A and B are shown apart, each in its own frame.
Chain A
Amino acid sequence: MTHASLTDTSHTDTSHTDTTELADTSQSGVLAQPYAGPGESGGPDPAGTLLRVEGLGVSFAQPGGRRRVRVLDDVALTVRAGEIVGIVGETGSGKTTLARAIAGLTAPDRGRVHLAGEDIAGLRGRARRRFRRVGAIQFIFQDPLRSLDPALTVGTSIGEGLAIAGSGSRAQRAERVADALRQVGLDPAVAGRLPAQISGGQRQRASIARAVISDPALLLCDEPVSALDASNRNHILLLLDELRQRLSVGIAVISHDLSTLAGIADRVVVLYRGRVVEDGPIAEVFARPRHPYTALLIASAPDIHGRDRHAAARLRPVGTSRDPASRRTGECVFAHRCRFATDACAETPPRRAATDHPGGDWVVACHHADTWRDELDTAPAPAASRKDFPT
């Protein structure tokens, strides 16, 4: 549902969980800590880096209150040309806000967004409009039935950007629309149909055609397949994989579904309550996560062979987890749900390169990244605690 992905930015929805402690953090100046990028030594961008986000922070005013809700805090990530980066996190973790901030749809209050070396977060007025018209960053939404105008034919929607920018004659634009449709594996005749007249998978292809028509450098896909069933889902993922090779676009795919990302992404960025807790090569991260939250996510994913329920239960705190509202100022974002939290976790852990990845292609923000697993191996399986039902 589009609802779910929009809750990230919805004030009412974040207010019940995030308000207090996030407001506290912003007041106490924790965010003023010096920013340390993920293994970045301040040198020039490595070859091929397309998008580089540094120290990105976004906060929203709370309705009726003076407090601000911090939705993203010190977020860093990079996407190379031709690379697919998965962004995973739960409802309210800031995934959608991150994509919107990268695209310039939400104004960040801190940090930088560099696209091909240019700081696009700082663009204002005419420069920003010009940047948008070029269409270097394109968005693909979850629900194409809602992101395509139901009253416009598919072709008109796809060519709308070109028409607004006034590029080419009508006939040239029609030809580019047909090209874009072919790029995404649709019959150009689909251009004459309304969104309601084609299937869900075809609609998502049409919205990808709308995105690629302007020859973008970066595609931001917000839950691109979660409205589709398994077969159509794989069709769309294959298409994204093909486009990154053919057009060498960088692609950021936001998803709450690990298996969607496992299918196509090269790297994964794990967000928890507005902070990046882990960032690394996806196959290795999923095989042996370094952050307890990533481990919990993976252990919670249902498995056709029957998930080991103890695996997830062993990663949850003993007894009931603490109320998130009780989070102390400056504490690690995950501490309230972490089985391995200690006194050290009262301080936000810095992102550090994983010990065997000194190059910085795998970073983790956990004080106990190297040790929590030892504790896990010795911990007994928790006994199922169940309360009585009223009879």
Chain B
Amino acid sequence: MPESAAGPAEVLLKVDGLRITVGGERTEAVRGVSFEVRRGEAVGIVGESGSGKTLACRSVLGVLAPGCAVSGGTIDFDGTSLVGLPRRGWEQLRGTRIAAVFQDPASYLNPSYPVGHQLAEQLRVKHGRARRDARADAVRLLAAMGLHDPERVYRQYPHQLSGGMLQRVVLAIAVSGDPELLIADEATTALDVTIQAEVLELLAGLRAERGLAVIAVSHDLAVIAEFCDRVLVFYAGELVEAGPTQAVLHAPRHPYTEALLRVASVGSWERRSLAVIDGQPPHVGAELPGCRFADRCAFATQQCRTRPVALTEQPDGRSVRCRRVDELALSGAGAATAAGAAS
């Protein structure tokens, strides 16, 4: 946790009014999203598939797929504007100050080279290490990622390593340049649960030691709950709720957050009731006059459907996009144990 006596850390990344279009000018998949990440802070993004969470992350990395483009808003990384940044500018940021890990580590490594070479190459090319130093540093980094017998791992090819080992290698490459911001997009989703726990512990250690800020995207609320200081809830391209993780998950204020919590695995092993959210989210880019969640919301009124709803700052420091935020009493994760988690 990035707690310091000096109060909140300085803002590292500031995204303001971000809009991203996909497959043509008209289809807006991210619709005016704003958030900040402070130095050393872990911010989680949750939402269903198609909610725009991955697009938002990719725009911060400058790796939007062809056909996708930032159509509005600003992204500021420590004083540098990332929207429209030329290639040379990206080269100085990506892989050094901003790094990323994704769900499928195997597809980010070259299958024809030993993994250690790929890590050492990064150290040589990006960070100017001499060949021999790069090798020694690479082995030490692999060891620091908790890899058993790093000398041997150094010489192994991607196909010889398990998913958890590959994800550690990719993490080693990501943190090799001592980045300030790490984007982890479903980075532990494909891992076995015991390995996921180890990788999350590794990430927590990296944060503590290096003051690394992390944006973690996951569909698994429990992973976010464990790892992140703050959480952003995306729905159909918009931010619907944001705030401190424990507060949001234990006392959600947007009906969608409540619905997500109801269907999520909450780590309770009693036979849980399998709740569902009825209906489907609106099509990507659909233009609706009112709240985008209204059709699936149990609390929606006529007004909700006809007039747009703004994201409003709440007195408790959270932001909620709901017209009825002050009237609704919503329940969070594990109301029974809420007392134990109120911290």
List A residues at the B interface (Cβ < 8 Å).
Answer: 1, 4, 12-13, 16-17, 90-92, 199-200, 229-231, 233-235, 237-238, 241, 256-260, 262-264, 283, 286-287, 296-307, 309, 312-313, 320-321, 323, 384, 386-390
Contacts and interface: CB of A to CB of B under 8 A. Distances in A.
Contacts of B316: none
Contacts of A260: 265
A300 B196 contact: yes
A237 B220 contact: no
Contact of B194 (A1, A229, A263, A300): A300
A90 B271 CA distance: 22
Given A304-B264, A320-B148, A389-B141, A262 B269 contact: yes
A286 B144 contact: no
Given A90-B192, A305-B341, A306-B341, A17 B267 contact: no
B61 interface: no
A238 B149 CA distance: 45
A384 B271 CA distance: 34
Contact of B221 (A233, A237, A287, A304): A304
Nearest to A284: B269
Contact of A12 (B159, B200, B259, B280): B159
Given A234-B275, A286-B269, A389 B140 contact: yes
Nearest to A300: B197
B149 A323 contact: yes
A263 B263 CA distance: 11
Given A230-B219, A305-B340, 14 more contacts: A12-B160, A16-B162, A90-B195, A234-B274, A259-B272, A262-B272, A303-B226, A304-B222, A304-B225, A304-B333, A305-B333, A309-B201, A320-B148, A384-B205
B240 interface: no
A1 B269 contact: no
Would you call the interface of chain A mostly helix, strand, loop, or mixed?
helix
Contacts of A234: 263, 274-276
A90 to B, nearest CB: 4
Contacts of A13: 159, 162
19 contacts: A1-B190, A90-B195, A229-B219, A233-B263, A234-B276, A238-B276, A262-B271, A262-B272, A263-B274, A286-B269, A300-B196, A300-B197, A301-B193, A302-B222, A306-B225, A306-B246, A309-B201, A388-B140, A389-B140
Given A16-B161, A323-B148, A303 B190 contact: no
Contacts of B136: 390
By Cβ-Cβ distance, the 4 closest A-B pairs, closest first, are A259-B265, A303-B267, A300-B197, A90-B192
A304 B267 contact: yes
Contacts of A306: 225-226, 246, 341
B197 A229 contact: no
B269 A302 contact: no
Contacts of B337: 305
A237 B149 CA distance: 41
Contacts of A300: 193-194, 196-198
B192 A296 contact: no
A199 B144 CA distance: 42
A235 B270 contact: no
Contacts of A283: 269-271
A242 to B, nearest CB: 11
A302 B220 contact: yes
B266 interface: yes
Given A17-B162, A229-B48, A298 B274 contact: no
Nearest to A241: B274
A303 B269 contact: no
A13 B276 CA distance: 36
B209 interface: yes
Of B197, B223, B261, B270, most buried by chain A (CB within 10 Å of CB) is B197
B342 to A, nearest CB: 11
